């Protein structure tokens, strides 16, 4: 985004003016009450071990080539054939002890007549006790995907992020805190297995990627961090429409309050109190290089 600078030159105005030390913003108060979005995910997407998998369970494969975690039996896919978009079917499990030791479980899969195996290096008792599920990044569980589609397709949600993606998977500038209609739930990628494809209130179509885990169990982008069931605009009735439009675009403009700027750009990484001849200014600094200056609680200068 192009840099914007309002007001007089910062270098001439603040050269030689000593600022106070770094002020750390207090973390948002955490409550024990679970959000409706987290409760939704926890109700329908319960982690289960692979010992509960039924024969015939299917997975969407996201990589071009076979992952190193698999061993392929003959015949196998030649290197010239892409696996991306193929469906792997779970065909059962076996117990093996190749060196005469404890029997370990091997998971068996099939894809278009080709057979593959995954060595868990765990006994059946260990799998049951740990509720173990193998980490196979190219796999997307189609049961979870279909459940998400049945629950979310056609619903109106409120999106929390302006980081959207087009049909080619390229990042585009979107809007946040606006209503969107879920058009489809599609396979995502190795890190975020679900893509939510939607249409906003202006008719624009785009997607975001997420994990079907609650935020308590995942460091990744989760449903509750991307969507809200309720209209956030109702929580900020005091904000004028012009300022709200800037917030939905992730922008700021002169005269906005601290609360409005925080809603638009998020919490700053550093806050400084700067004495000047005309009074005390407050500077917000972001890791992106953006900074905001406030006088009497209102935005006076900024660079994004």
Task: Render pLDDT for 249-275 as a digit per residue (tens, 0 to 9).
Answer: 999 999 999 999 999 999 999 999 988
Q: Say what the pTM is.
A: 0.81
Distance CA 11, CA 125 (A): 68
3-state class (DSSP) for residue 295:
strand
Distance CA 138, CA 67 (A): 7
Q: Report pLDDT for 92.
A: 96
Q: Report pLDDT for 272.
A: 93
| Buried b or exposed e, range 140-165, using 16+ CB within 10 angstroms | bbbeebeebbeebeeeebbbbbbbbb
Grouped pLDDT means (10 residues each) for the chain, 304 residues: 36 34 45 83 90 96 92 81 94 87 93 93 93 92 97 97 94 96 96 96 96 80 95 95 95 96 95 85 94 94 93
Task: Render pLDDT for 128-177 as a digit per residue (tens, 0 to 9).
Answer: 999 999 989 999 999 999 999 999 999 999 999 999 999 999 999 999 99
Q: In terms of C-beta density within 10 A (0-12 exposed, 13-18 middle, 19 or more buried), how is residue 194 classed?
A: buried
Asked if 105 and 127 count as a contact pair (C-beta separation under 8 A), the reply is yes
Q: Report pLDDT for 77.
A: 77
Q: Report pLDDT for 47.
A: 83
Asked if 186 and 197 count as a contact pair (C-beta separation under 8 A), the reply is yes
Q: Report pLDDT for 159.
A: 98
Q: Which helix (H) or strand (E) holds 273?
A: strand 270-276
């Amino acid at each position: 985004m192009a840099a914007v600078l309002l007001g007089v030159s910062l270098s001439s105005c603040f050269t030689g003016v000593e600022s106070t030390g770094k002020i750390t913003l207090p973390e948002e108060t955490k409550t024990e009450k679970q959000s409706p979005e987290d409760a939704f995910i926890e109700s329908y997407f319960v982690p289960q071990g692979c010992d509960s998998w039924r024969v015939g369970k299917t997975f969407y494969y996201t990589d071009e080539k076979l992952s190193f975690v698999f061993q392929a039996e003959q015949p196998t896919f030649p290197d010239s054939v892409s696996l991306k978009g193929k469906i792997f079917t779970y065909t059962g499990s076996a117990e093996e002890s190749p060196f005469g030791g404890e029997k370990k479980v091997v998971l068996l899969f099939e894809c278009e007549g080709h057979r593959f195996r995954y060595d868990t290096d765990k006994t059946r008792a260990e799998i049951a006790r740990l509720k173990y599920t193998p980490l196979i990044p190219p796999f997307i569980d189609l049961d979870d995907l279909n459940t998400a589609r049945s629950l979310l397709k056609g619903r109106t949600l409120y999106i929390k992020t302006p980081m959207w993606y087009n049909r080619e998977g390229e990042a585009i500038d979107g809007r946040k805190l606006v209503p969107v209609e879920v058009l489809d739930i599609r396979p995502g990628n190795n890190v975020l297995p679900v893509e939510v494809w939607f249409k906003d209130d202006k008719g624009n179509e785009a997607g975001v990627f997420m994990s079907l885990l609650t935020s308590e169990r995942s460091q990744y982008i989760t449903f509750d961090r991307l969507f809200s069931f309720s209209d956030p605009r109702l929580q900020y009735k005091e904000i004028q429409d012009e300022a709200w439009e800037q917030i939905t675009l992730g922008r700021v403009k002169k005269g906005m309050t601290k609360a409005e700027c925080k809603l638009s750009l998020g919490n700053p990484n550093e806050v400084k109190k700067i004495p000047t001849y005309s009074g005390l200014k407050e500077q917000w600094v972001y890791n992106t290089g953006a900074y905001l200056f406030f006088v009497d609680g209102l935005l006076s200068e900024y660079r994004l």
